[in-house]
Amino acid sequence: MPSETPRRPYDSGRRQEAARRNRAAVLAAGRELLFRDGYQATTVRAVAERAGVSPETLYKAFGGKTGLVKALWDVTLAGDDEPLAMAERPQLQAVLATRDPHAKLRLYAAFVRGVHERLAALSALLAQAGPEGGQVLAASEEERMTGVSAFVTHLAEAGALPPDADTARLADSWWALTGPQLYTQLTAGRGWDADTYEDWLTGVLVPALRGAA
For 162-197, the pLDDT digits (tens) are 999 999 999 999 999 999 999 999 999 999 999 999
Each residue of 48-105: pLDDT tens digit?
Answer: 999 999 999 999 999 999 999 999 999 999 888 887 788 888 999 999 999 999 999 9
DSSP the chain: -PPPPPPPPP-HHHHHHHHHHHHHHHHHHHHHHHHHH-TTT--HHHHHHHHTS-HHHHHHHHSSHHHHHHHHHHHHHHSS--S--GGGSHHHHHHHH--SHHHHHHHHHHHHHHHHHHHHHHHHHHHTSHHHHHHHHHHHHHHHHHHHHHHHHHHHHTT-S-TT--HHHHHHHHHHHT-HHHHHIIIIIT---HHHHHHHHHHHHGGGSTT--
In this prediction, residue 10 carries a pLDDT of: 53
What average pLDDT does the chain have?
91
**Higher pLDDT, residue 44 or 212:** 44
Residue 22 banded pLDDT, cuts 50, 70, 90: very high
Residue 154 has pLDDT above 60, yes or no: yes
DSSP 113-143: HHHHHHHHHHHHHHHTSHHHHHHHHHHHHHH
Rounded distance between C-alpha atoms, residue 213 and residue 211, angstroms: 5
Each residue of 95-142: pLDDT tens digit?
Answer: 999 999 999 999 999 999 999 999 999 999 999 999 999 999 999 999
Report the percentage of the chain scoring pLDDT > 90. Answer: 83
Rounded distance between C-alpha atoms, residue 190 and residue 176, angstroms: 18
In this prediction, residue 84 carries a pLDDT of: 79
User: How many CB atoms are located within 10 Å of the residue 84 CB?
Assistant: 13
Report the percentage of the chain scoring pLDDT > 70. Answer: 93
Amino acid of residue 42? T
In this prediction, residue 7 carries a pLDDT of: 60
Residue 3 banded pLDDT, cuts 50, 70, 90: low
